[in-house]
Chain A
Amino acid sequence: MRSQNRIHIMLNIVVCVKAVPDPKEACNIKIDPATKTLLRCDVPMVVNPLDKNAMEVALQLKEKTDVRITVLSMGPPEAGNIVKEGLALGADRGILLSDPAFGGADTFATAFTLAKGIEKIGHHDVILCGMASSDGSTEWVGPQIATFLKLPVVTMVKEIVKTDVPWWKVKASIDNGYRLMQVKLPAVFTVTREVNTPRTLSFSGIIKARKKEIEQWGIDDLGVSSESVGLKGSPTIVSQLKTTEGKREVEFIKGTRAEKAEFLVQKLIGTGLL
């Protein structure tokens, strides 16, 4: 008879999710000219699309092995809906970092706060983030979290190849190809939309989430100073924001083929495209 004394390993995964204005309502998104921040009132907030891919990585793994998923977000109390969605999808624990002091954070302060949240969660093997948010689109938060936590990071993961413990093998997108990376856990991964097709919410998942409470942590819970979070902890400032308006014009080029080609080249040089 085989020994029953196998070491039981539970993987602890933290999935970072962000509430963003619904990209489908992009035409209705407005910016406050004074504060240079998004006016959120007119547009419904949804889970950042790439964070759904990150969540799906964790959920697929949970279907195969023993995994505990914690969904983590930072935002105003309304962002609790986003965390609740994570719980409805199958996360075991939901935490919202919410405090007026966290408001106005840039990516640095956001990543710092999230990293402190992850430290407070305790043991973590894998931290998953979307590659970028659909509103800010900086792609910085994942790597910054890794920096604060002193963990390795692989960005732009497009395929999870192997999930052995403690080594994960992934394919990360680069121009015209990918890099095959082997990383020792704990590590941070940011994923692209190629990594999977996220599942949608299910009715029974929503019902199961009734029993799962969202934990809300403020600045005191994280034990950080107000100078290190939110606007005060943000080294970058948004100096200017403009709403661009796309205009299209059609111009017919006349002449011989050579004349047309020359005209086109000059036109492209003139617009700075060549």
Chain B
Amino acid sequence: MIDFTFTEEQEMFRKAAREFAETKIAPRVAEMEETGEVSDAVVKAMGEAEMMAITIPEEYGGLGLGYTERLIAIEEVSRVSVAAAMMLQVFALGIEPIVKFGSEDLKKKYLPGLATGERLSTTAVTEATGGSDPSGIRSSYKKDGDDFILNGRKCFITNSHIADTVTVLAKDEDDPKAFCAFVLDKDMAGWKATHKEHKFGMRGCNTGELAFENCRIPASQMLGEEGKGLRVTMSAIGDVGRGGMVGVALGLQAACLEESIKFANERILYGKPIAALQTIQNKLADMKIDLEAGRLLGYRAAAMQDKGLRSSNEFAVAKYYTTEACQRAAKMAVDIHGGYGCMEEYAVSRYLRDAYVVGPSAGTSDIMKVIIGRWALS
């Protein structure tokens, strides 16, 4: 029989992540919601709690853990704060290409700082002309001796204004089929964070634009082979990006269900808690079914990833299912809360706003269906 249980150690990781989220992040959620700004205290705490170190190999100062552990950590953080979980998920998107495709020098240069949170990372692929279809990007590079000169703009970049280490994808100015991925850091001239977005959800997680103007990049900063950068970033987004969003969505689903159960047991109607009403039980059952199904899909894909198997299609299914399910869960949670659900004092109103920002991150549901459809037909 297939073993669907977590190991004792994984259960302990979950406990550690939950304790961390409840003690270090929960007290900052109101402030993040109010200001819409990243909480420095949360970012610092995530570094101290080794949250960024999970999948970084031990020889570079990381914990050398797997993607299952990463999924557990993101789920637990998201259960408390979707915004913090999104930050965490995207830190890994900046880290993964360096781990998988970086030269030894790049790994030694960046990974130890990224593991401790001293450096913060992101990945910059999306542009107005290409996100889910990265081949449509317009940011371009040209060779100048041993260097590359980068020009262009990136949009909807999570961690745009807090990241100091960025993985960027650009197209060869003279060859539209050739792409390169580079690591940029704050010490390099010619790039900066510009416009800051104001989202209706996931407040406290920074999203914005990055601009590159004649940014000179030494060849040593290139990830993977010249011209094959698309593979570098897609490999990170396909598995790690979708996987991270599954964790974000699962945590949000769990939070919706927990808050709904709590409220349904406390709210008295017709002399009984509303949890005694079948119509409420139906909603709770739907949320529970979605959560269980989502966990099976997500953790199966993570287990495959840990075995070194290709898991991007399985993650596409899990990403589609869980991000849709978290929107359903958030709506039902607000419905169960009735009028209270519209009040900002109740977390479910935040869940509803967050749920609709989770959807398009790392590829919309429609794009997931395109991928899943291709997989089915292949």
Contacts and interface: CB of A to CB of B under 8 A. Distances in A.
B49 A202 contact: yes
B13 interface: yes
B53 A203 contact: yes
A206 B49 contact: no
A144 to B, nearest CB: 30
Interface in B48-63: 49-50, 53-54, 63
Interface in A1-34: 27
Contacts of B269: none
A246 B20 CA distance: 33
A240 interface: no
B276 interface: no
B15 interface: yes
B20 A84 contact: no
Q: Summarize A's interface: helix, strand, loop or mixed.
A: helix
Contact of A85 (B12, B49, B63): B12
A202 B8 contact: no
A201 B12 contact: yes
A257 interface: no
Contact of A203 (B8, B23, B63): B63
Interface in B347-374: none
B16 interface: yes
B16 A202 contact: yes
Contacts of A132: none
A207 B54 CA distance: 11
A211 interface: no
Contact of B63 (A81, A84, A204): A204
A200 interface: yes
B19 interface: yes
Interface in B1-50: 8-9, 11-13, 15-16, 19-20, 23, 49-50
Nearest to A80: B8
Nearest to A200: B19
B20 A207 contact: no
A202 B19 CA distance: 10
B65 interface: yes
A188 to B, nearest CB: 28
B23 A200 contact: yes
Contact of A206 (B12, B20, B23, B265): B12
A64 interface: no
B9 A206 contact: yes
A210 interface: yes
B54 A203 contact: yes
Interface in A165-219: 200-204, 206-207, 210
A226 B358 CA distance: 59
Nearest to A205: B16
A201 B9 contact: no
B19 A84 contact: no
Interface residues of A, number: 13
A84 B13 CA distance: 12
A118 to B, nearest CB: 26
Contact of B16 (A27, A81, A203): A203
Contacts of A85: 12, 15
B9 A210 contact: yes
B8 A201 contact: no
A207 B8 contact: no
A200 B8 contact: no
B63 A201 contact: no
Contact of A81 (B8, B69, B265): B8
A129 B107 CA distance: 46
Interface in A121-159: none
Interface in A60-88: 81, 84-85, 88
Contact of A200 (B11, B16, B53): B16
Given A206-B9, A206-B13, A200 B63 contact: no
A202 B12 contact: no
A200 B9 CA distance: 15
A232 B303 CA distance: 48
A54 to B, nearest CB: 17
B15 A201 contact: yes
A70 to B, nearest CB: 20
A68 B12 CA distance: 23
Which of B16, B69, B265 counts the most chain A CB atoms within 10 A?
B16
A266 B8 CA distance: 58
Contacts of B16: 88, 200-203, 206
Contacts of B49: 200, 202-203
Contacts of A207: 63, 65
Nearest to A46: B15
A81 B11 CA distance: 10
A88 B9 CA distance: 10
A200 B20 contact: yes
A88 B63 contact: no
Contacts of A84: 8, 12
Contacts of B12: 81, 84-85, 88, 201, 206
Contacts of A204: 50, 63
Nearest to B10: A206
A51 B11 CA distance: 20
A151 to B, nearest CB: 33
18 contacts: A81-B11, A85-B12, A200-B23, A201-B12, A201-B15, A201-B19, A202-B49, A203-B13, A203-B16, A203-B49, A203-B53, A203-B65, A204-B50, A204-B63, A206-B12, A206-B13, A206-B16, A210-B9
Interface of A: 27, 81, 84-85, 88, 200-204, 206-207, 210
Given A201-B12, A201-B19, 12 more contacts: A81-B11, A85-B15, A88-B12, A200-B19, A202-B49, A202-B50, A203-B13, A203-B49, A203-B50, A203-B65, A203-B69, A206-B16
